[in-house]
Structure 1
Amino acid sequence: MEISGLCRSVVYKLAKQGQFPAQVTVGVRGARWSEHEVRNWVADRLANARRATVAETE
């Protein structure tokens, strides 16, 4: 959640909707996200936001 800048509830909501990387189970009660996948997700969102900003200014 630290990398994405999103609160826990938003992360879980987006993951449930398939809009955030899936968790990886690491134990009976534990789950984590792949840092690589989360960083790629953040980079994609930034790129999309920048493209939208450029498109709005044209």
Structure 2
Amino acid sequence: MVVKRVNITVDPDTLDEFYRLASKKGIKFSTWVQVKMEEFIEEEKMIEEYRQQKRRS
């Protein structure tokens, strides 16, 4: 898989807390962000599809 590097700004306290909790489960920040982006995209596509179907009815 090709990846693109990006810089993001996050609250340092929140990031520290994430690292503390995620490290116990072996979760990496970049992996978590990728999964959350995919979930968001899937949800938004479902909403778009629902709205299109509703318009056709």
Tell me which interval the TM-score lies in, with the shorter structure as reference length: 0.3 to 0.5
Say which structure, 1 or 2, has more relative contact order (CA 8 Å, 6+ apart): 1
Which protein is bigger by CA-based radius of gyration? 2
TM-score, normalising length: structure 1: 0.46
Higher helix share: 2
TM-score, normalising length: structure 2: 0.47
Higher strand share: 1
